[in-house]
Structure 1
Amino acid sequence: MQELIGNLWDFHDQGFCIGIPVNGDRRRDGRAVMGAGVALPAANRFPNLPTLLGEKLRTSGNHSYYWHEFQLVTLPTKEAWTQPSSLGLIERTAREAVHLADYYRPNTIYCPRLGCGLGGLLWKDVAPILHVLWDDRFLIVHPGS
């Protein structure tokens, strides 16, 4: 796993797969809650993503999913949007992301610092988990200081 400074969406615009932190909540209409953070621009760019993710959450649970048509991987960091991110969930998510990368074979997956924005975690606590589990296919993108 490598870290670099930049804008996550710039990499997506160049055709690369990116990881989107998400939670396990669904609205009354069944759509996934994607109202803030990196999830919000993903929902705005791909208006049917909340519906598709909501269906996955309903049928299969709060897990990592690969979306070839959007060049995205959804990466749960929270069970509910109102809760803080969980190191245990991030660890499970990171393991699932490795399995997805092995199966679907995207060359690289650019991700933000999982759980460290609206999730309330510190990068110093999250980074060691990801460094152990993620290889050079995973790149962490952050805006810098």
Structure 2
Amino acid sequence: MVTYIEYGNIFTLEGILNYAHGCNCAGAMGKGIALQFRDKFPVMYQQYKEMCKEGKFSLGDVFTYNHDDKIIFNLGTQKTWKTKADIKAIETALMKMMDYANQNKVYKIALPKIGAGLGGLNWDDVKNVIDKVAGSFPNIDLFVVENYKEN
């Protein structure tokens, strides 16, 4: 099931420890929520940056990072920070994330409005993809914060 939250902060949603966000495949996390992920999880950022440098993180990939009791899903949604997000890559990455979550008993994941902020895609198109993918995994709840607001 998908719950859309008009305003909020994914990191302060009660009872949720697992997070996802869209990433470029060039190793940059310098703006938007990616910058928050970089600051909160610096070791993850270094690993992601190295994977990108080595060509091991591509569109549609998911880099899963375990941090204490949290799982961070880095979704390969755009080639570089200068290019638009790719709707097919979003769908592929979400499907891989949900498969992983299902296999590893992860039942709640919070994510921002992927692909439609700095990624430049139409939010309604991305929402349709999220709803479609989530429909195949009824035991996993996604909480999508559409607009950032500090709590």
TM-score of Structure 1 vs Structure 2, range by shorter chain: 0.7 to 0.9
Does the CA contact (< 8 Å) of 2:113 and 2:147 recur in 1?
Answer: no
Q: Deviations over 1:64-111 (max 9, x none)?
A: 122121531111220111101111111111111111212322220111
| Structure 1 unmatched ranges of 5 or more | 26-31
Q: 2:113 touches 2:146 (CA, 8 Å); kept in 1?
A: yes
Correspondence for 1:137 among 122, 137, 141: 141
Structure 2 partner of 1:56: 51
Q: Percent identity?
A: 21
Specify the code of the residue in structure 1 equivalent to 2:65: W
> Pairwise mapping of residues 64-83 of structure 1 onto structure 2 (< 5 A)?
64-69=62-67, 71-83=71-83
CA contact (8 A) 1:15 1:71 kept: no
Aligned residue pairs total 137
Post-superposition Cα deviations, 1:15-70, rounded to whole Å, max 9, x if no partner, equal 51111211100xxxxxx211111110111112222211123333632211221215
- Read off the aligned partner of 1:137 and give its amino acid letter: D
The gaps in structure 2 that reach 5 residues or longer are none
Residue identity in the other structure for 2:33: V
Q: Which runs of 4+ in 1 moved over 4 A?
A: none
Conserved 8 A contact 2:16-2:110 = no
- 2:23 paired residue number: 22
| SS of equivalent residue, structure 2 residue 118 | coil
Contact conserved, 2:116 with 2:123, CA < 8 A, in 1? yes
The aligned runs of 1:33-48 (5 Å cut-off) are: 33-48=28-43
**Partners of 2:98 and 2:66 in 1: how far apart?**
15
TM (normalized to structure 2)? 0.80
Higher strand share: 2
Match of 1:107 in 2: 107
